[in-house]
Amino acid sequence: MESKIFGGGVASSSPLMGNSPEPTIFELSAPGRTSYSLRATNVPKRDLSDVVPKEFLREIPVDLPEVSERDLVAHFTRLSSRQYAVDLGAYPLGSCTMKYNPKFADAVANMTGISDVHPLTPASHAQGWLELMVTLEKYICEITGMSEATLQPAAGAAGELTGLLIMGAYHRARGGKRSKIIIPDSAHGTNPASVTLAGYEAVTVPSNERGLVDLEHLRKVLDEEVAGMMLTNPNTLGLFEQEIYEIAQAVHDVGGLMYYDGANLNAIIGVSRPGDMGFDIVHSNLHKTFATPHGGGGPGAGPVAVTAVLAPFLPGPKATLIEGEGGAATYGWTTPKHTIGKVHGFFGNAVVLGRALAYMLYNGSDGLKEVSQYAVLNANWLRHKISEQYDIPYSQWCMHEFVASAQRLRRQGGIKALDIAKAVLDEGFHSPTVYFPLVVEEALMIEPTETESFQTLSILAETLNKLAKLAETSEGQEALHQAPVNTPTRRLDEALAARKPRLSFDQPPNH
């Protein structure tokens, strides 16, 4: 049905195109069809039981789809064309920092000398790769204000766990075993999960009326059992922790360590450094900060940098510069003295590391500083442009992202943050993050990133304001409740899907 508000999309008459549901691969299956065939040979045919021991054979063949190569390629190509991506348009997903990945870095990573080296290649035959990793570690330490780093962790959450394991090894080496980690109430959801996985108890401190850590409450929960505090600065509300020196000092006074969640590092590169704020451990999301593939778009990377005191506990082995004969620079592998061991197979998601270094070198120190400055400028401009239509709970200057609220729209016409997010899809943008952080009702968390142009942000601002104005009329409210109408799939019952997921092809759709 065509929408009077959004313009509507006309589905193709073909069941395989347009806005019609894409058949599953099983629905395209036909008995006896195959995606490839081998030319006949004179090799005699043998029964499978002659090759594989009988006890390993299934009594009933696996129910796999039988499709031609043509149908197989077409199916997955159609699915890929229905997915939103950073290469298609603005992706203002707050906290996740989904931004355009420059193709220059992809081209560098695809060079033969980088992409075709096997991870088991001896160090003597992979000097270029080792130099790349040593150089990247040096730059990460310079950017974060740390001493040494590991490149092994495969993503931000893996970096969190690595940092907590280093924290635990440090305290055990000093003859103590601490049990608690402090986290703010606006922390990323992975923080408490990582704390639990590392064997600690998570202790939450609330935000104050400014959206920052309540320093007085923090002091009340600090004791000799606190191993450290996990914090990102700017925080998840996009606000800079102005009392960060006092926070770090309070944690250090009880013997704890400060862990910097690097999810928001892209707001401060070249402007300030976590090490100078008092942090002891820093992870950096290369896929957020340095524009490498992110999440489902490719493996991530979350290097962890530490102070000199914690360097002996880093995972190993790690690439190291070794002076060769006659002073020639050679590179090899070394293992820190009190290492916590490996946290990733081989040496991390290496080709992602190559992309990140290419991005750093391409931008240079001045360019990386501009990355942060434009990210902060874009966020503040967009925040100002929508502030008349949406509540802005924390109205001070934000950093790279900000949190708006649809609470006013819900009171006036029953329009929730989810309705706005779904309607944004019809306008050609990806939705912002909704209902996070939990400290804001009807939260719309928006991060425009530095890669979007003024023109794109202007259209996004106009779109958000237009949707808020629609909430003022009954017709507009009805349209917002129905959105999206132009996407390949209409609005789903997400609660039902979570409670009763369809886990097999044999289950009916409403199971």
Same domain (yes/no): 304, 438: no
Q: Does residue 256 sit within a domain? A: yes
What was the pLDDT predicted at 395? 83
CATH code for position 275: 3.40.640.10
User: Where a domain ends, among 361, 381, 400?
Assistant: 361
Radius of gyration for the alpha carbons in the chain, expressed in angstroms and rounded = 26
| pLDDT band per the 50, 70, 90 thresholds, residue 18 | low
Same domain (yes/no): 267, 411: no
Domain span at 40: 23-81
| Model confidence pTM above 0.85 | yes
Q: Does residue 192 sit within a domain? A: yes
**Considering Cα of 82, then 87, then 92, then 98, what sign does the dihedral take?**
positive
For 113, the token pair is 């000398």
Question: What would the pLDDT profile of 49-58 be if each residue is shown by its tens digit?
Answer: 899 998 999 9
Same domain (yes/no): 489, 462: yes
Q: Does residue 113 sit within a domain? A: no
Task: Name the more confident of 182 and 22.
Answer: 182
Same domain (yes/no): 156, 176: yes
Roughly what angle, to the nearest 10 degrees, separates helices 454-470 and 417-426?
130
Length of the chain: 511
Question: What would the pLDDT profile of 378-399 be if each residue is shown by its tens digit?
Answer: 999 999 999 999 999 998 999 9
Q: Does residue 473 sit within a domain? A: yes
Roughly what angle, to the nearest 10 degrees, separates helices 350-386 and 454-470?
50
DSSP β-bridge partners for residue 230 = 259
Residues 6+ apart with CB under 8 A from 200: 164, 168, 178, 179, 180, 181, 227
Question: What would the pLDDT profile of 230-264 be if each residue is shown by its tens digit?
Answer: 999 999 999 999 999 999 999 999 999 999 999 99
Q: Does residue 337 sit within a domain? A: no
| pLDDT band per the 50, 70, 90 thresholds, residue 7 | very low
Same domain (yes/no): 65, 195: no
Same domain (yes/no): 244, 378: no
Residue 6 has pLDDT above 80, yes or no: no
User: Where a domain ends, among 36, 65, 81?
Assistant: 81
Domain tally, the chain: 3
What average pLDDT score do residues 388-411 get? 96
| pLDDT band per the 50, 70, 90 thresholds, residue 295 | low
Q: Does residue 104 sit within a domain? A: no
The mean-pLDDT minimum among 169-178, 297-306, 403-412 falls in: 297-306
Please give the Cα distance from 384 to 160 (Å, whole number).
33
CATH code for position 431: 3.90.1150.10
Strand 443-446 to strand 402-405: parallel, antiparallel, or no bridges (unpaired)? antiparallel
What average pLDDT score do residues 176-188 get? 93
Same domain (yes/no): 131, 31: no
Same domain (yes/no): 36, 176: no
Same domain (yes/no): 134, 209: yes
Residue 509 has pLDDT above 60, yes or no: no
Same domain (yes/no): 357, 414: no
Q: Does residue 197 sit within a domain? A: yes
Q: Which residue has the tokens 């505090």?
A: 229
Same domain (yes/no): 129, 48: no
| pLDDT band per the 50, 70, 90 thresholds, residue 4 | very low
Q: Does residue 339 sit within a domain? A: no
Roughly what angle, to the nearest 10 degrees, separates helices 474-482 and 417-426?
80
Question: What would the pLDDT profile of 59-68 be if each residue is shown by its tens digit?
Answer: 888 889 999 9
Same domain (yes/no): 54, 144: no
Return the number of other C-beta atoms located less than 10 Å from residue 304's C-beta: 32
